[in-house]
Amino acid sequence: MSESSFLSILLISIGILFVPFLSKLFRIPVAVGEILYGIVIGKSFLDIVEPSQWLGFLSTFGFLLLMFIAGLEVKLKEIYSLPLKSKLLYTLIPSLVFILSFWLGKELDFNALICVAIGAISVGIVVSVLREKGLLSTPYGKTVFLVGIVGEVLSIAVLTFLSLYYEYGFGLEFWLGIGKLILYLLVARVVLLFLRSFVWWYPDRFKFFFEKNPAEIGVRISLAVMFTLSVAASLINIEPIIGAFISGMIFATVFEETENIEEKLSGISFGFLIPIFFIYVGINFVMPHLDGHTLKVLAILVVASFGVKLISSLLLVFEGYSLKEAAGAGALLSAPLTLVIVTAELGVKMGLIDHHTESILILLAITTGVGAPTLFNLLLKERE
């Protein structure tokens, strides 16, 4: 291994160790801190860590795990158990977000992919902030979390349909792609239900799936499911990272008691592989020339991202929350860090945006990732 590779390992290890402490000191999400650290040591500033094949592999692995765990957080049973009024409201809010996003995009002459980036919703930072403030187990925290879950699923669905549309257009092949996706979901669910039936009928043989054991069979099975369904997704022209999210979502739907597996996966994932992904995003980031036009576009995207979510979340007043609480929910939902990065990377891959626009979208992810929790804390200060 070359001297530069050893230096890369050392610097990334230092980042994984110290960035969480620095992020807490500066009151920013850890993922944002990791991206900023990668920017400092990467192409944009010091340029002392070069992208490499092994770093790329670890980053991709971390990305797949991040999307799989995000899928595991989708608790559809909790949404099914809601009253009809709440179900409709929690679905209407993210739907309105995307309606406003695409309307704004049309008015501002943005392409559809940038509209997705504006409307994207993810629960990563939402869960982190709600847990930090002790609100996750409260009715208000659960409401914000469930709206975020529906929004994340809708975001992935919109991104999937968009990728199929740009691949095939609205012709026969597009609808064949939709049919393959539905078949993929059904087959994956049937296979996992078949696996669950063994756990149900032979609990003594399969209790290790949910218990601690030296071989960590439960973790092995969940990773095997993730990789198998990700590969299967790529075979029907669905991006593997979207396949990883879908596989996590189906896995959590079939095996409802996944807390033990989530805990085990989170240890190595959030402790090592996922930080490598975020740092690697920063390393590859090329700071765009911040002229007047670039800053104007970034400002428009930030205002649009906050605006569509703040306006839509005001519908939460029909759940009995105050305007300030409803606005606070919209502010927190305005930090879709992971999905904006997913959208940017897919946009470049599909040839819909160039690297300059990708850099602007990453700046959008960083700006909203810092600004959304700050605004939420200001609006909900009395709930601390």
> What's residue 206's pLDDT?
52
Extract the residue ranges of the chain whose pLDDT is less than 50. 202-203, 214-215
**DSSP 8-state symbol, 331:** H
- Write the CB contacts of 165 (distance below 8 Å, at least 6 apart in sequence): 174
**DSSP 8-state symbol, 383:** G
> What's residue 215's pLDDT?
47
Q: How many Cα atoms sit within 13 Å of 210 on the Cβ side?
A: 13
Per domain, the residue ranges of the chain are 68-267+290-383
Give all strands (DSSP E) within 177-284, no chain letters: none
> What's residue 47's pLDDT?
80
Q: Do 105 and 112 contact (CB within 8 A), yes or no?
A: yes
Nearest to 46 by CA among 285, 345, 274, 355: 285
The proportion of the chain whose per-residue pLDDT surpasses 90, expressed as a percent, equals 11
Predicted confidence (pLDDT) per residue in 184-233, tens digit: 778 777 777 776 665 555 445 555 555 555 445 666 777 777 777 777 77
The CATH T-level fold of domain 68-267+290-383 is: Na+/H+ antiporter like fold (1.20.1530)
Q: Which residues of 34-45 are buried (b: 16+ CB within 10 A; e: fewer)?
A: bbbbbbbbbbbe
- Write the CB contacts of 29 (distance below 8 Å, at least 6 apart in sequence): 23, 125, 128, 335, 337, 369, 370, 373
235: three-class secondary structure by DSSP: helix
